[in-house]
Structure 1
Amino acid sequence: MDIHTNIARRLRELRDAKGWSLEALAERSSVSRSNISLIERGESSPTAVVLDKLATALGVSLASLFEAAGDDAGQAPSPHAAARDQAVWTDPESGYVRRNLSPPAWSPIQLVEVHFPPGQRVAYDTSLRDAEIYQQVWVLEGTMEMTVGERVWRLETGDCLAMRLDCPIVYRNPTSEPARYVVALCRTTN
Structure 2
Amino acid sequence: MTQDAEVDALVRARIRGLRIAKGWSLDELAARCYLSPSTLSRIETGHRRIGLDQLTAIARALGASLDSLVETPGDEVVITPHHHPERGITTWVLTHEPGRQGMTVARMRVTKPAERGPDALRVHPGRDWFTVLSGTVELILGDRTILVEAGQAAAFSTMVPHAFGARGGPAEVIAILDHDGERVHLDT
State the TM-score, normalizing by the size of structure 2. 0.47
| Structure showing the higher helix proportion among its residues | 2
Q: Kindly name which structure, 1 or 2, has the bigger radius of gyration based on alpha carbons.
A: 2
State the TM-score, normalizing by the size of structure 1. 0.47
